[in-house]
Amino acid sequence: MPHSGSCLCGQTKIEIGGESAKAQIICHCIDCRQAGGSAFSGNIVVSQKDVEITGPVKEYTSLADSGNPITRIFCGNCGCPVSHKSAWFGENQVMQTGNFSEFANVPIAAEVYVKDRWTGLGPVAGAAQWPGMPEKSILG
């Protein structure tokens, strides 16, 4: 099922094709929290070939706790986080689901970096729980 979304200001448009968006992954890592300015980030992992991002974007590359570089893509106007890529994800990229209204109804399959979860936020019922980054098989 295709998904269409945009950043906060609407200048960066995001299109996701294919059937890869059946479940979300919540990430509680410190980097995702800082990049999004929130307690966690909602994500899906999709094939890069199914993603089209148009409009003003910027990129920022830093090292993940694994030591691998991770490139975060965000709107060049409003700063809204859009996506991130890493060699660890192979041909996939991670898309932030907050930019798509329909993801309010897409189930959460897993939570990663629960070791960094804020006190007071309990686990999502029925979602797999990973203390850090899981093995690649969970990511699709």
CA–CA distance, 123 with 128 (Å, rounded to integer): 9
pTM of the full structure: 0.89
Return the bridge partners of 13, or none.
6, 54
Q: Tens of pLDDT along 21-60?
A: 678 999 999 999 999 999 999 999 999 999 999 999 999 9
Question: Which domains are assigned to the chain?
Answer: 3-128 (2.170.150.70)
